[in-house]
Structure 1
Amino acid sequence: MDAVNNTSTSAAEADFLRFRQTRHRYVTSPQGPLALVSTTEIDSERSIDGVPGLWAPIPTGGGVRVTAAAADGIRVDGELIDGTVDIAGSDTVVPSTLAFGGGATGTVYPGVEGHYIVRVWDPANEKAENFDRISAYEFKPEWVLEGTFTPTEKRAIGIEHIKDEGRLRDEVLPGDIDVVIGGESRTLAAFEDEGKLLLVFQDLTTGDETYDVGRFLAVRPRRDGSVELDFNRAYIPPCGFSDWFNCPMPPKQNRFVFPVDAGEKRVLSV
């Protein structure tokens, strides 16, 4: 039995190391969280700090419109812009690509109240170039927990985001996650997030050993309703890498009064 457990733990540790390597590649990628240098809501005709062009909403929606000269070097879907062009947002069937030259790129996302947001990514920015690594706890098999996901009628709860000055945004909860954690049974809230569930939590390491706002954990319920919560894969949210992200705060039921000494800790610079 011990040999089986040791083999299982070794496999889990190897998988954990692959996860850590994947995270490093992601955060340092050209559009990883370290590369984000601005986020601008396009609610009227305006300029964007650090990039050329005049930006405006598309009257019919679906993205933003840019007016630029060829000398500005803006490319949309690979074509150099000399005039006015519409840029399709990420929520359209075929989103546009956007490049500014010098390795900087852009993406267009739907925002609030029907407006779109332009994000500018520059992997050569100072914060990205000074990045060293993400510190993390060693793998701990005791933090691989089994829970139960119970689908419910989808309901929205108001969640505060770090830059919204107390204003609440509705996040959709597709069900409840029941798990024994910290020695007690708890029902946790996880949001819908691009085909998976996102658990946003705080614990007694938050603001001390780990990132000040809290951490994220992606979970995927199995068909039988069981769900694995591997807190070794708890990760720092995007706002821990760039000030231009606006991350959700943990709901009350996900604020633990015990330490979760597993997963990522801090972003370290050279």
Structure 2
Amino acid sequence: MTHPIDRAIGISKLTDGEPEPDALVDAARRQRASAVIAPQGNLALMNTQWITGDVGVSQPIWGVPGLWSPLPIGSCGLLLRAPASDAILVDDELVHGDVVVSGMDAVSPSRIRFSDTVTGTVIANEEGDHALRVWDADSEAIRDFRAIEAFPYDQAWVVEAKFTPDAGTSDVSIAYLKEEGKTRANTVPGEISFTLGAEEHRLVVYQDGPSWLLVFADATTGDTSYSVGRFLRVAPGYKGAVSLDFNLAYLPPCAFSYNFSCPIPPKQNRLGIAVTAGERNVLTRNSDLLH
């Protein structure tokens, strides 16, 4: 799936003439602000509840009706049991009795609707467990959203770097919020090196869908930018040349909702310099920090 920032830049480049870089970033930020308040945008996520245990043993999920239970190992989804009076629609059909709700890892994921504003999706983890995510298009967070605070555009933060592939395609252990110290092994295609302020930096990226993801922290983290860190999408160029535009650094989903579990920057990606570019924090209508 293409990231909203990537889409915005791609769309901008199709316009007549050559837009200035700051105009491209402004377009990306406008689209990003619209994306996070969408019906299943980051600010709409109300709950992520994992359904584990014995097959067929049902449990309730906070905030929505119905009883939910795991399917046999290897299946993509959850079993939902609900009477018609619960008014749950799965793929536009009213649920009455038992129905299999397919996960996002299935060929055709199920569409779940609980009310005019509340919807659901089923996700999976690497172990094959499934969870229901509950989204509310009229969430308090959406109603209270003002803006994504960002540093002003600065061409100086467009850094030319070099990508050195790892012939062995090694892994890096990434810790995640809300997973009590548990780490996941993420494939590292290689290392990115660049120089800033006469100091050389070597960072790792890892595969995330069709692109690479740089998860980093810097001297602004927890001070003038979000406390966990930030993300940057990376694409290699000709013969390993990489352009890192830190103006496109963006906040992880957990900056918008505690119901996301985001990767924590690995040790080698914690910069001692202040990267004063990209997104900083989520602001409420009163200009307070959301998190």
Task: Identify the TM-score tier after normalising by the shorter chain.
Answer: over 0.9
2:199 is equivalent to residue 190 of structure 1: no
Aligned to 1:56: 69
Name 2:280's counterpart in structure 1: 265
Q: Provide the secondary structure at the position in 1 that maps to 2:27.
A: helix
Query: Of 12, 33, 36, which aligns to 2:21?
Result: 12
Q: Residues of 1 paired with 2:164 and 2:84: CA distance?
A: 55
Match of 2:31 among 11, 22, 25: 22
- The one-character-per-residue Cα deviations of 1:132-190 (angstroms, maximum 9, x if unpaired) are 10111110001011222233222222111121222222122122212223432222111
Q: Are 1:102 and 2:102 counterparts?
A: no
Structure 1 or 2: more strand by fraction? 1
Q: Letter of the 1:197 partner, please give it.
A: W
1:31 lines up with 2:45 in the alignment: no
CA distance in 2, matches of 1:79, 1:190: 43
TM-score by length of 1: 0.93
Unmatched segments (≥5 aa) in structure 1 = 1-7
Deviating beyond 4 angstroms after TM superposition, the runs of 4 or more aligned structure 1 residues are none
Q: Does 1:249 align with 2:264?
A: yes
Deviates more, 1:93-102 or 1:219-228: 219-228
Secondary structure in 1 matching 2:188: strand
Q: Mapping of 1:148-159 within 5 angstroms?
A: 148-152=162-166, 153-159=168-174
Aligned sequence identity (%): 44
1:228 alignment partner, SS class: strand
Where does residue 138 of structure 1 map in the other structure?
152
- CA RMSD of superposed structures (Å): 1.7
- State the Cα deviation string for residues 205-243 of structure 1 (Å, max 9, x = none): 111110011111111223542222110011111101001
Displacement of 1:9: 10
- The CA distance in 1 between the partners of 2:170 and 2:21, in whole Å, is 35
More off after superposition, 93-102 vs 245-254: 93-102
Q: Distance in 2 between matches of 1:210 and 1:100?
A: 36
Asked whether 1:171 is paired with 2:180, we answer no
- The letter for the 1-side match of 2:102 is A
| Residues in 2 aligned to 1:47 and 1:100: alpha-carbon distance in whole angstroms | 14
- Counterpart of 1:232? 247
Letter in 2 for 1:121: W
Instruction: Measure the CA separation in 2 of the matches of 1:269 and 1:156.
Output: 38
Give the structure-2-normalised TM-score: 0.86
**Are 1:78 and 2:97 matched, yes or no?**
no
